[in-house]
A and B are shown apart, each in its own frame.
Chain A
Amino acid sequence: MKKLSFVLLFSFVAALFWSFAPNTGGDRLIGVWEPSNGRARVKIEKIGAKYYGKIVWLKEPIDPATKKPKTDKNNPDPDLQKVPLMGYRMLKDFTYKGDDEWADGTIYDALNGSTYSCVIKMSNENTLNIRGYIGVSALGRTDVWKRLVVKK
Chain B
Amino acid sequence: MSFHFKFLPIAFVVTTFGSFSTLWAQVPENTDTTVAEEDYSLYDNVEYSAEGARRFCSPKIEGLSPAKLISFGYDYQMGYNMSADTLNSIQTNTGGWNLNAQDAQVLRSHGMRLAFNIPVISQTNLVWQLGGNYWEQRYNFADEASLTNPMLKSLSAYGLKTAGLSTTVFKPLNDKYFMLFQGSADYSGNYTIKDMMPLNYMKYSAALIFGKRPSELKQWGVGVARTYRVGEINYIPVVLFNSTDVQNKWGTEMLFPARVHVRRTINSRNMLFAGYELEGQSYRMWNTSSVDGFQMREDDLEIRRGEIRLRMVYEFSLKEFIWMSIQAGYRINYRFDMDRLINGEENYRAFGLIDDMPPYVMINNLTNPLYFNVSINLVSP
Q: A-side interface residues toward B, CB under 8 Å?
A: 1, 5, 8-9, 11-12, 15-16, 18-19, 32, 34, 36-39, 41, 43, 45-48, 50, 52, 54, 56-57, 59-60, 64-65, 74, 76, 80, 83-84, 86-89, 92-93, 108-109, 111-114, 116, 124-127, 129, 131-134, 138-144, 146-151
Contact B37 A114, beta carbon cutoff 8 Å: no
Contact A116 B381, beta carbon cutoff 8 Å: yes
Q: B-side interface residues toward A, CB under 8 Å?
A: 5, 8-9, 11-12, 15-16, 18-19, 23, 26-28, 31-38, 40, 42-50, 53, 55-56, 58, 62, 66, 69-70, 118-119, 122-125, 175, 216, 246-248, 267-269, 320-321, 378, 380-381
Partner of B33, one of A1, A12, A45, A89: A89
Contact A133 B381, beta carbon cutoff 8 Å: yes
Q: What residues of chain A lie closer than 8 Å to B321, measured between beta carbons?
A: 114, 134
Report the minimum CB–CB distance from A38 to chain B (whole Å). 5
Contact A57 B44, beta carbon cutoff 8 Å: yes
Q: CA A106 – CA B38 in complex, angstroms? A: 23
A sample of 25 cross-chain residue pairs with beta-carbon separation below 8 angstroms, ordered by A number, consists of A12-B11, A19-B18, A32-B46, A47-B28, A52-B31, A56-B38, A57-B43, A64-B247, A74-B267, A87-B35, A89-B31, A89-B32, A92-B31, A108-B33, A113-B269, A139-B70, A139-B118, A139-B378, A143-B122, A144-B125, A147-B49, A148-B43, A148-B47, A150-B42, A150-B46
Report the minimum CB–CB distance from B34 to chain A (whole Å). 6
Report the minimum CB–CB distance from B29 to chain A (whole Å). 10
Contact A132 B381, CB 8 Å, known A32-B46, A47-B28, A140-B119: yes
The count of A-to-B residue pairs whose CB atoms sit within 8 angstroms is: 163
Contact A38 B175, CB 8 Å, known A32-B46, A143-B122: yes
Contact B123 A141, beta carbon cutoff 8 Å: no
Chain B residue, CB-CB nearest to A37? B58
Partner of B5, one of A8, A19, A46, A129: A8
Partner of A39, one of B5, B27, B49, B216: B216
Contact B27 A47, beta carbon cutoff 8 Å: yes
Contact A54 B35, beta carbon cutoff 8 Å: yes
Contact A151 B47, beta carbon cutoff 8 Å: yes
Chain B residue, CB-CB nearest to A54? B35
Contact B19 A19, beta carbon cutoff 8 Å: yes
Contact B49 A86, beta carbon cutoff 8 Å: no
Contact B34 A15, beta carbon cutoff 8 Å: no
Q: What residues of chain A lie closer than 8 Å to B268, measured between beta carbons?
A: 74, 111-113
By secondary structure, the B interface counts as loop
Q: What residues of chain B lie closer than 8 Å to A138, measured between beta carbons?
A: 118
Contact B48 A114, beta carbon cutoff 8 Å: no
Contact A146 B50, beta carbon cutoff 8 Å: yes
Q: CA A80 – CA B33 in complex, angstroms? A: 9
Chain A residue, CB-CB nearest to B56? A36
Report the minimum CB–CB distance from B267 to chain A (whole Å). 7
Report the minimum CB–CB distance from A148 to chain B (whole Å). 4
Chain A residue, CB-CB nearest to B2? A5
Q: CA A11 – CA B321 in complex, angstroms? A: 51
Closest 5 CB pairs of A and B: A126-B50, A144-B124, A64-B246, A74-B268, A36-B124
Q: What residues of chain A lie closer than 8 Å to B70, measured between beta carbons?
A: 139
Contact A88 B33, beta carbon cutoff 8 Å: yes
Report the minimum CB–CB distance from A67 to chain B (whole Å). 11
